[in-house]
Structure 1
Amino acid sequence: MSKKAVAKLFDLESQESGGSPLFVSQTHSKDPQPVSDDNDGGDSERIPVEEWLPITESRKGNVYTATFHLICSGLGFQVLFLPAAFSALGWVWGMIVLTVGFAWKLYTIWLLVNLHEAVNGTRFSRYLRLAIASFGVKLGKLLGIFPVMYLSGGACSILVITGGKTINQLLHIMSEDDTVPLTTVQCFLIFSILAVGMSQFPNMNSLFGLSLVGSVMALAYSTAVWTLPLASERSQKNVSYATKDTSFDNIFNAVGLIAIAFRGNNLVLEIQGTLPSDSKNPSSKTMWRAVVISNAIIAVCMFLVAIVVYWAYGDKIPAGGGPISNYLKLYEQDYPKRAAYFIDITFILNCLCAYPINLMPSCDNAEMVYITNTQKPCSFFVRMMLRVLLGLVCFFVAVGFSFLPYLAVLIGAVGLLVTSTYPCFMWISIKQPQWKSLMWLLNVLVGSLGASLSILLVVASALRLADKGLHANFFKP
């Protein structure tokens, strides 16, 4: 099938309308984006529905906006799991797995950036669209919808849990009589109200201010986490670095903790969709500069947190993962309260700022359903209500399944496919490299390893749950 045919077949509007003819806006925009650059059917006069959807409504981004979007979406609370992974793997294997994982993530991001405009005349500004173009309509939706929507809505639910519990923990630290004036559910509700309010920005590009604040906050608490042990000159006499549990499930649980730290690939295409693009300056050039800058910063934070915190605490770090509060409590015990205040406050602000950018794919999908049925853009009121509804869903999931952080590795195995596996097979499907060429062999190998690792993580997590058990406190956070 020719690239022009693929561009027509996998056009955004025709996918949502089940292959029916494209519907056209009655009001031409100031900056029309043609569906295809064909000159044989008049497609160049059609105004695409992307201009009505929040991810692609504004294409006025630049290297700075993309950089902060990438940092905010790629550097989050998962970085605090890295010392726990080291406590299970040890120094040597911890460094090897972390380095390989980071290089793996960077490679698959490079694939996605270059696949964004791989088909002539079409920009794949949504991960799900690229999955459909690569694997076909049925298989693409089957493979893509659940993990992509989970990584959007599920990430927001976990942000509600971690952010809400950190609010509760902060109030506990501030209380002089060890009483907390608010229940955990009330803290979840406060976090959700603030987060949904911050999600009312009209489009992805307009979230730049939040991404900037969120990035600064992530850098702030990450820096505090690794500088405090160095500044305090902690004694290492009682710290052990010996790995006590070398069982299959414990080792792969640690590998899973590192794997889930490399998040954000599901938003790479969406962030690139906010950038302008033309034949002289394709969006891939700007996006790759942003990727290099952002991932250099993320790498520094990840490696310093993993190395320094493990050096400071060793086997005192809870190796099984779990709530972030398990790690932050170490800092409550060893440092002044003002240090705990700073870490908790910056952590909460980072979670609040990360919420809207993670929710955006779900918002975009909800608005697509509305636009498909009404063939008109969402009004301000409709857009607001859709986001409130999605926020309520995330809140109720957080309240009902507040034990989700204990399932981080099991759930992260699903997201690992999006990060490490799908981009490799997408490249083979769309770019069609010569059979058994270097790029073909590399992508088959990397993609197969990613799929195998995902299966092993599911097995290891299931074995760990069978051994340790799970206190599933449904609707009792």
Structure 2
Amino acid sequence: MITNTKFGIETGNDYSKFDDDGRIKRTGTLVTTSAHIITAVIGSGVLSLAWAIAQLGWIAGPIALVGFSLITWFTSILLADCNRSEDGKRNYTYMDVVKSNLGGMKIQLCGIAQYSNLIGISIGYSITTSISMVAIKRSNCFHKLGQHVGCHESNNQFIIIFGIIQVLLSQIPNFHKLSVLSLVAAVMSFAYSSIGFALSIAKVAGGGGHVETGLTGIPIGENQSSVDKMWNTCSALGNIAFAYAFSTVLVEIQDTVKSGQSENKVMKKATLIAILISTLFYMLCGLLGYAAFGDKAPGNFLTGFGFYNPFWLVDLANLCIVVHLLGAYQVFCQPIFAFVERWSSKKWAGSNFITKEYSIGMPFCGSFNFSFFRLVWRTTYVIFTTILAMLFPFFNDFVGLLGAASFWPLTVYFPIEMYISKAKIPKFSFTWIWMQILSLICLTISLLAAAGSIRGLIKSLQTFKPFHSVS
């Protein structure tokens, strides 16, 4: 909080501990930056890709994955180049970058899009983690009692457990202190993705019964009308868009890169590494998952119990998901925490409750800065997202809606508009025209994906009872 924003000259501290903007020296490297991005990218979105490929088929599915990855990589490069203002000053948040390059009402529109999306992702991760926790318990139940037993469990108690853990983790002061947590989370994402496609390979190689696949995905027929096909295809595009949803925290991640080097160059390398790795894993999980399950691919291919054995490996994969999302939740929440705390510090600068921090010695960890305001505000936020996760536990449609809502404004529109402004690209020039065409295409995809997900949510709500979620 305020301890991290004061200038060294004001606090009387050693200048060697501060960057050129007066903030405590940043320590981010290519490795930690890549880990932050991978933690943000390879999230719960990977689990729905087999289902998404089943809706799109062998042709459109891979094309969609590659297309979204290329667009995300390109616009992330644009966003990285817009990070510093014309006078060379760093921007600390996505809204700061928009303010520096565009200004006007677009700052407020960016804030609404970014923070509503971050809140939605927090809710989505709470849902996903609880589903994986339940899957571990159900897997052991199946092992003991047999697969014919339902072994159904309420998600609510596991959403609450996840919330309690997040209350503790949310006391980590800022993004700069998340490096270890992000590295662990990145390793976990590799682990469960690897287990997922290894199990898919084993299922395909072992025969496991005939599965139906197709060039255009699930066919129109007895089990699916042409209208359902259209809407499910739209929802699948939203799921893939969500799988690449990390632009909301890209600026905050770039702000962790140490000074003395070109932050945008480090960010570009980290983005390329992270997206290449992520797309490889997405291809393996999505395509192999579709090959293993065919048209019956579950919405979450590690908790839909297409895989029953070896049960301990399925349990391990879901445990890795839980550990990963514990860190990923923090990566997406820190911008919200920082925004509220900065605003509160300016609004009530004379309040000790808001601004004062207490240094507490921690065994083997050095000192820890504790704040009563941080404890109260962040705990309230976690409780809020936990309650909403218990109220609306719809995985695929919720993920699709989040992807659709964030993809065009935050991943495409603002990076393109800011780069055009910063590079002073002439209106109606060739570069300006093709960038606007790209933005229009992505807007159309986002609207279709949002429509498909909203329809799915409406259908789910017709038979759903609040706080009675069962897996």
TM-score, normalising length: structure 2: 0.83
In the alignment, the residues of structure 2 paired with residue 182 and residue 469 of structure 1 have an alpha-carbon distance, to the nearest angstrom, of 20
1:204 matches 2:175: yes
The CA deviation at 1:274 is: 0.7
2:337 aligned partner? 363
Higher RCO (C-alpha under 8 Å, 6+ residues apart): 2
Residues 465 and 403 of structure 1, relative CA distance in 2, 3 Å threshold = closer
Partner deviation per Cα, 1:303-339 (whole Å, 9 max, x = no partner)? 1111111111111214xx4xx3x65233443x22112
1:190 matches 2:182: no
1:392 matches 2:383: yes
8 Å contact from structure 1 (residues 126, 269) kept in 2: yes
The code of the aligned residue for 2:70 comes to A
8 Å contact from structure 1 (residues 403, 471) kept in 2: no
1:43 aligned partner? none
Counterparts of 1:66-465 in structure 2, within 5 Å, are: 66-141=33-108, 143-175=109-141, 176=144, 183-232=154-203, 233-235=205-207, 238-242=210-214, 243-245=218-220, 247-278=229-260, 281-318=261-298, 321=299, 324=300, 327-333=302-308, 335-375=309-349, 377-379=355-357, 380-381=370-371, 382-403=373-394, 405-416=396-407, 417-464=409-456
8 Å contact from structure 2 (residues 397, 456) kept in 1: no
The CA deviation at 1:431 is: 2.5
In the alignment, the residues of structure 2 paired with residue 24 and residue 136 of structure 1 have an alpha-carbon distance, to the nearest angstrom, of 29
In the alignment, the residues of structure 1 paired with residue 415 and residue 195 of structure 2 have an alpha-carbon distance, to the nearest angstrom, of 35
The code of the aligned residue for 1:459 comes to A
The code of the aligned residue for 1:315 comes to D
The code of the aligned residue for 1:401 comes to F
Residues 459 and 174 of structure 1, relative CA distance in 2, 3 Å threshold = closer
The CA deviation at 1:474 is: 2.4
In the alignment, the residues of structure 1 paired with residue 73 and residue 410 of structure 2 have an alpha-carbon distance, to the nearest angstrom, of 13
Residues 467 and 61 of structure 1, relative CA distance in 2, 3 Å threshold = closer
In the alignment, the residues of structure 2 paired with residue 468 and residue 386 of structure 1 have an alpha-carbon distance, to the nearest angstrom, of 32
**Number of aligned residues:** 429
8 Å contact from structure 1 (residues 156, 355) kept in 2: yes
8 Å contact from structure 2 (residues 234, 451) kept in 1: no
The CA deviation at 1:251 is: 2.0
In the alignment, the residues of structure 2 paired with residue 229 and residue 181 of structure 1 have an alpha-carbon distance, to the nearest angstrom, of 24
Q: Which moved more, 1:288-297 or 1:217-226?
A: 288-297
Q: Which moved more, 1:177-186 or 1:235-244?
A: 177-186
The CA deviation at 1:277 is: 3.0
Partner deviation per Cα, 1:83-122 (whole Å, 9 max, x = no partner)? 1111111101111111111101100111111111252222
The CA deviation at 1:430 is: 2.8
Q: Which runs of 5+ in 2 are unaligned?
A: 221-225, 358-369
In the alignment, the residues of structure 2 paired with residue 131 and residue 360 of structure 1 have an alpha-carbon distance, to the nearest angstrom, of 19
8 Å contact from structure 1 (residues 89, 251) kept in 2: yes
Q: Which moved more, 1:124-133 or 1:405-414?
A: 405-414
The CA deviation at 1:131 is: 2.3
Residues 363 and 393 of structure 1, relative CA distance in 2, 3 Å threshold = same
Partner deviation per Cα, 1:10-38 (whole Å, 9 max, x = no partner)? xxx9xxxxxxxx99984255355566xxx
The CA deviation at 1:124 is: 1.9
8 Å contact from structure 2 (residues 196, 302) kept in 1: no
Q: Which runs of 5+ in 1 are unaligned?
A: 1-12, 14-21, 36-46, 52-56
In the alignment, the residues of structure 2 paired with residue 378 and residue 218 of structure 1 have an alpha-carbon distance, to the nearest angstrom, of 37
The CA deviation at 1:464 is: 4.8
In the alignment, the residues of structure 2 paired with residue 397 and residue 114 of structure 1 have an alpha-carbon distance, to the nearest angstrom, of 36
8 Å contact from structure 2 (residues 425, 432) kept in 1: yes
In the alignment, the residues of structure 2 paired with residue 298 and residue 58 of structure 1 have an alpha-carbon distance, to the nearest angstrom, of 30
Residues 184 and 248 of structure 1, relative CA distance in 2, 3 Å threshold = closer
Residues 118 and 431 of structure 1, relative CA distance in 2, 3 Å threshold = farther
Residues 469 and 388 of structure 1, relative CA distance in 2, 3 Å threshold = closer
Aligned residues with identical type, % of pairs: 24
Q: Which moved more, 1:236-245 or 1:388-397?
A: 236-245
Partner deviation per Cα, 1:400-421 (whole Å, 9 max, x = no partner)? 2223653332332211121222
TM-score, normalising length: structure 1: 0.82
In the alignment, the residues of structure 1 paired with residue 460 and residue 72 of structure 2 have an alpha-carbon distance, to the nearest angstrom, of 31
Query: CA-atom RMSD, angstroms?
Result: 2.7
